[in-house]
């Protein structure tokens, strides 16, 4: 049987998978970034054991992307997101973060507190 800490970490992974794969490819522009970030937060916070989600849709990176193309929007990818989550399961708190590691959006455990 998994420990409560292992289960809390599993729940964090489920939340990240859901967040990333549900919203990847969504059309986004600097004007729509804030509302998309709030929608992502609210959607994931509906899931069990999720206490808090903070999504920063990086408008600076979106603007850089748009500067090299003629369209007024681009597709959401991990390079446009900074995400932090707080998961609580049976007295265990898991803090997570997604940020770019080079050119890869890395999802990682920051802390597991029992």
Determine the pLDDT at residue 27. Answer: 97
Q: What is the mean pLDDT of the chain?
A: 96
Q: Which two tokens stand for residue 103?
A: 């050119």
% residues pLDDT > 90 (the chain)? 96
The arithmetic mean of pLDDT across residues 9-35, rounded, is 96
Determine the pLDDT at residue 56. Answer: 97
Give the residue carrying structure tokens 């998994």. 2
Q: Which two tokens stand for residue 71?
A: 């369209």
Model pTM? 0.92
pLDDT band at 106 (very low <50, low <70, confident <90, very high): very high
pLDDT digits (tens, 9 = 90+) for 39-76: 999 999 999 999 999 999 999 999 999 999 999 999 99
Q: Which two tokens stand for residue 16?
A: 């990240």
Q: Which two tokens stand for residue 7?
A: 């289960």
The arithmetic mean of pLDDT across residues 11-27, rounded, is 95
How far from chain centre, in Å, is Cα 89? Answer: 19
Q: Which two tokens stand for residue 102?
A: 């080079």
pLDDT band at 9 (very low <50, low <70, confident <90, very high): very high
Domains of the chain with bracketed CATH? 4-113 (3.30.1300.20)
% residues pLDDT > 70 (the chain)? 100
Question: Contact, 66 vs 42, CB < 8 A?
Answer: no
């Amino acid at each position: 049987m998994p420990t409560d800490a292992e289960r809390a970490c599993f729940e964090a992974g489920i939340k990240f998978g859901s967040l990333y794969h549900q919203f990847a490819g969504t059309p986004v522009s600097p004007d729509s970034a804030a509302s998309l970030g709030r929608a992502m937060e609210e959607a994931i916070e509906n899931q069990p054991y999720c206490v808090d989600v903070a999504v920063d849709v990086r408008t600076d990176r979106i603007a850089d992307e748009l500067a090299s193309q003629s369209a007024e929007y681009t597709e959401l990818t991990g390079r446009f997101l900074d995400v932090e989550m707080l998961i609580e399961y049976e007295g265990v708190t898991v803090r997570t973060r997604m940020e770019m590691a080079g050119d890869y959006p890395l999802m990682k455990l920051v802390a597991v507190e029992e």
